[in-house]
A = this chain, B = another copy of it.
Amino acid sequence: MKICVAGLGLIGGSLAKTLKKNTDTVVYGIDINKKAVTLALAQEAIDEEITPEDMKNCDIVILGLYPQATIDFIKENRDNFNPGGIVIDTCGIKKAVVESAEQTLSGTGVSFLGCHPMAGREFWGFEYALDNLFDKASFIMTPTENTPKQTVDTVRQLALDMGFAKCVVSTPQEHDEVIAFTSQLAHVVSSAYVKSPSLFRQAGFSAGSFKDLTRVARLNEDMWTSLFLLNKEPLLSEIDHVINALKDYRDAIADNDSDRLHELLKEGRELKEESIRNDVR
């Protein structure tokens, strides 16, 4: 199988490395950043650099680009993809990307599948790409009524061959709603957390909880600004939920309401424990 990875950043670069390590596919690379291509070749993450026109010969094209760049790349390369081939993206939001991609590729014979490999790091760029980034990760696919079953099967098998822990099938809508909670809200809360005037008093006063709560404040603001604005309604709803929940704790503490505070904390512990059990099932 011939696969092209277009966009050799953290995600695209890690996927290329993982493909080379765990599968027999030939991996081609495209990136406007020539340093990324040079590194990818030097580290044997790709077999060869190709031009967009060469994508015609590829069975699968994986886009490792930001949301707007993904949408634009598909438009610009509408006629460069292999009719009968598959194009997948790797964006953290699905609805806006999938709708645009399906519209653009309609009638070309190219089949598009929205995907989201669920892993990341607080660093970006090919320099940080790892061949084991996805070892324990979920691979989410969001087919629509327009996606051939064969495409889903092919991509699922590829993800499992690469070593993803599991494949999850969702809809673009469900994906975006849940990801607003599991990933986007985490980044907003972590970023908001470090805005306290107490931040620079913390050295020597921190254990694991501070580190955990603030780790993802170290984010790529270009990418996350775009992800947040393309998923506005679900994310606003989650931010409102957490603000309202925080107010409950605030009020219980302000009122010295020990029973209420105890109940809020107990409920939180039980929910967390139930969600761990739920996750294991």
A→B interface (CB under 8 Å):
118-120, 137-138, 140, 166, 168, 170, 174-175, 177-183, 185-210, 212-219, 221-222, 224-225, 228-229, 232, 235-236, 238-243, 245-250, 253-254, 256, 258, 261-262, 264-269, 271-276, 278-279, 281
* A265 near B225: Cβ-Cβ < 8 Å: yes
The answer to whether A201 and B213 touch (CB under 8 A), given A189-B246, A225-B261, A236-B254, is: no
Interface secondary structure of A, over-half rule? helix
Name A269's contact: one of B204, B213, B219, B264 (CB within 8 Å).
B219
* Across-interface contacts of A266 in B (CB, < 8 A): 221
* A243 near B246: Cβ-Cβ < 8 Å: yes
Task: Give the nearest-CB partner of A271 in chain B.
Answer: B194
* B120 near A224: Cβ-Cβ < 8 Å: no
The answer to whether A267 and B195 touch (CB under 8 A), given A182-B202, A201-B181, A222-B262, is: yes
* Across-interface contacts of A219 in B (CB, < 8 A): 265, 268-269
24 residue pairs of the A-B complex, CB under 8 angstroms, read: A174-B201, A177-B198, A179-B205, A182-B209, A182-B210, A186-B209, A186-B212, A190-B213, A191-B268, A192-B245, A192-B249, A193-B245, A195-B267, A198-B238, A200-B275, A200-B278, A218-B272, A221-B265, A225-B258, A229-B256, A229-B258, A236-B250, A239-B250, A243-B243
The answer to whether A185 and B193 touch (CB under 8 A), given A253-B239, A279-B202, is: yes
Report Cα–Cα, A265/B192, bound state, in Å: 9
Report Cα–Cα, A281/B204, bound state, in Å: 11
Report Cα–Cα, A216/B213, bound state, in Å: 9
Report Cα–Cα, A189/B245, bound state, in Å: 9
* B272 near A217: Cβ-Cβ < 8 Å: yes
Task: Give the nearest-CB partner of A261 in chain B.
Answer: B225
